[in-house]
Structure 1
Amino acid sequence: MKAKEGVIELLNKILTADLTAINQYFLHAK
């Protein structure tokens, strides 16, 4: 279970980073 929690945490960090990058892109695109 510990390993699975680590993977989920890592995926959440990656998703958060992607969303932040997308938001920055759209802000600059306007």
Structure 2
Amino acid sequence: IDEFWDYDEADRLKAIEISHAYRKSRGRSRR
């Protein structure tokens, strides 16, 4: 269970980082 939780946490953090980077990149390109 500990491993699964760790994986889920890492995946969630990665997704958040990617989402933020994507939004930043899109905003810069749009402007």
TM-score (norm 2): 0.76
Q: State the identity as a percent.
A: 3
In the TM superposition, structure 1's runs of 4+ consecutive aligned residues that sit over 6 Å from their partners are none
What stretches of structure 1 of length at least 5 have no aligned partner? none
What stretches of structure 2 of length at least 5 have no aligned partner? none
TM-score (norm 1): 0.77
